[in-house]
Structure 1
Amino acid sequence: MKIIIGLALLLGAVVTVYASHHFRYSKGEQESWTNFSTSCIGQHQSPIRIYSSSALPVAIPALEMVGFHNLIPHPIWMTNNGHSVEIKSGKKGYAKVFGALLKGEYEVEGVHFHWGKSNDRGSEHVINDIRFTMEMHIVTRNSQYSELKEAMNHTDGLAVLAFFFDVRERENHALRPIVREMRLIRPEGSRAAMSHSLTLASLLPPDTDLFYTYRGSLTTPPCSEAVTWILFPDPMPVSYHQVQRFRELRSEDEVLVDNYRHLQSIGRRKIFVRRAPQEFEDGIEGMSYYSNPEFWE
């Protein structure tokens, strides 16, 4: 049953409260995620620790982003699902990605964030021993699968683009529309229709040529090992005031903070770092390695 909150109507947005599938992030509670899904103890789990010195440089094609400069179609729903804030359009297929090591085209499903209680933690992945203040995920679905649930059953089903934020004095102007309306979704399970417009491109760093990529999983239950991760290591700014708005969200009767999964074992997986073909003295060698059918093993 939906409960319409009157304050939201006065502010020009509709807020709805839903029951949500709940899990928590403490060490003991993360260990109990196997009660949700046995995939959470799989061999290709995320997040992981990445070192630039050990990542394998490969001549990987650029990641192409289509529709990222267009306004996200309304209605744009902002939801506090109890473990993150998610931003999702009511329309499908408005933006997609292809290239890199992806097999086919992937449609954008939504955007969500992870953050910490303090400024020295919050990101899920750790790059060169740095854990950033926030990590943003743009979740995309392989277009050959019609629904997210179906895509989670296939190793090529999903691609998640990961971006990082570090606290700086200046505000991140692109985050203003999100932060401004976050007060409407403080209780867990609340959802608001955003009144402001934004583009996916405005949320990204100016340079997306460099990225790491590896095979992994969702970082929340059911921990499906269906994800090609693409991580852009150069952090963007976020002001202390802005990240504080994230920390005001609620998860049941507590503040929603430290909503990042503990690091998982890399195992025998390879982590690759993109180097444009012109950066290689022998571009043929790089591209032949990229085309190897055992590339992901």
Structure 2
Amino acid sequence: MALPALVLCCLALLAQDILASGGGGPSWTYTGQHGPSNWGSMFRECAGKRQSPINIETGNVKTEYWRPFTLKNYDQPPTRMRIKNNGHSAVVEMDAPSAPRVSQGGLKGEYIFAQYHFHWGGDSSLGSEHTIDGVRYPMELHMVHYKASYGSLGSAVAKPDGLAVLGVMLEISGTDNPALTPLVSALRNITDSGMFADVAANYPLRAFLPRNLEKFYRYEGSLTTPTCNEVVTWTVFADAIPVSEKQMEFFRSLKNDNGGAMVNNFRPPQPLNSRKVMVSAESGADSASMKKVGLTLYFMTSMAVLMMNM
């Protein structure tokens, strides 16, 4: 059922408040005494055993055979987009006739889009929250969704499987990314914390995802900002999308809550502990079917050989 634009607007604002404000607790930063190394003492769950981000070791992952993602309304341009400087990131909210939803891809249920935001570095040698074999990208985009069956974001953040976040790496390109250009232009109007601006061109969510959605990494984790709720099913795509150095500079021109440069707004990788990271097989349901067929053929062939030798 389509959600009215006003409802989506309220959901986006609620998402921003819950995911970026620290839930009304003590103030936090990315540096100094209120930085990531002290979040665990400021917010109990930030010291948990299922924290994010992590370093993804590609040689130590388990292959899983999942159906391809089903993306609903991801190709439908929103009726309105806004970008806000919340003091920690640039957060994009949108209104749409029908809420974008994601399911399959190993997710247990359908999840409704709430907002997306970015993490970036002071230069292009760092910036992403997740690392892959220790490698950092200059920027990482997070598309936040809440589980539809829980009815609201507020209810979902209290459930172990309440949120699904799609993580997209950005890599430096010699040319601008057209989908990012309207966002970058709007950044000029939100340099200070608390400011927001409309985005001139409304690109659909699909424009911010890599072309190849088949290969991705999956693990159970948390929000990467306080209060670090351990409620997130993480998807980190293997392929990146482009961004130019010129576009990156506009993100780096934003100011944080203290009036300083908003750069290096990422949390360092957290211990994996007993969790397992999985990687998708790159042909989705077909791979699963072929695996089953292969096992069946192997069994039949083995039986035939055995009978011939009797």
Q: TM-score, normalised by structure 1?
A: 0.85
In structure 1, the partner of 2:83 is: 78
Q: Aligned to 1:45, which of 43, 46, 51?
A: 51
Give aligned pairs, total: 269
Show the counterpart of 1:263.
269
Further displaced range: 233-242 or 257-266? 233-242
CA distance in 2, matches of 1:50, 1:189: 34
Structure 2 unaligned regions, length at least 5: 1-16, 296-310
CA contact (8 A) 1:142 1:159 kept: yes
Q: Is the 8 A contact 2:39 2:46 kept in 1?
A: yes
- How far apart, CA to CA, are the structure 2 residues paired with 1:216 and 1:237? 26
Given that 2:77 and 2:96 are in contact with CA atoms closer than 8 Å, whether structure 1 keeps it comes out as: no
Structure 2 CA distance for aligned equivalents of residues 136 and 281 of structure 1: 33
Report Cα offsets for 1:154-212 as digits up to 9, x if no partner: 01100000000111211111111110111111101111122321111111111111111
Residue in 2 that maps onto 1:112: 117
Mapped to 2, the partners of 1:196 and 1:236 lie a distance apart of: 19
Q: Report the counterpart of residue 135 of structure 1 in structure 2.
A: 140
State the 1:93 CA deviation: 5.1
| Code of the aligned partner of 1:69 | D
Query: CA 1:259–1:286 in 2, change beyond 3 Å: closer, same or farther?
Result: farther
Corresponding residue for residue 298 of structure 2: none
Report deviation, 1:90.
Answer: 4.0
- Select 1:26's aligned residue among 27, 31, 52: 31
Out of 285, 289, 292, which is 1:284 matched to? 292
Partner of 1:197: 202
Give the RMSD, CA atoms, in angstroms. Answer: 2.3
- Tell me how far 1:146 sits from its aligned partner: 2.5
Contact 2:73 2:98 in 1 (8 A): no
Does the 8 Å CA contact 1:73/1:94 hold for their aligned counterparts?
Answer: no
Distance 1:222 1:131 in 2: 24
| Alpha-carbon distance in structure 1 between the residues aligned to 2:97 and 2:273 | 36
- What secondary structure is seen at the aligned counterpart in 1 of 2:88? coil
Richer in helix (by share): 2
SS of match in other structure, 1:188: coil
Most deviating of 84-93 and 128-137: 84-93
Structure 1 gap ranges (5+)? 1-17, 288-297
- For 2:265 and 2:226, locate their aligned partners in 1 and report how far apart those are by CA, in whole Å: 13
Q: Does 1:65 align with 2:41?
A: no
Identity across the alignment (%): 33
1:3 is aligned to none
Give the counterpart letter for 1:283 in structure 2: K
SS in 1 for 2:247: helix
SS of corresponding position for 1:129: coil
Look up the equivalent residue of 1:268 and give its one-letter code.
S
Superposition deviation, residue 148 in structure 1:
1.6
Shift of 1:142: 0.3
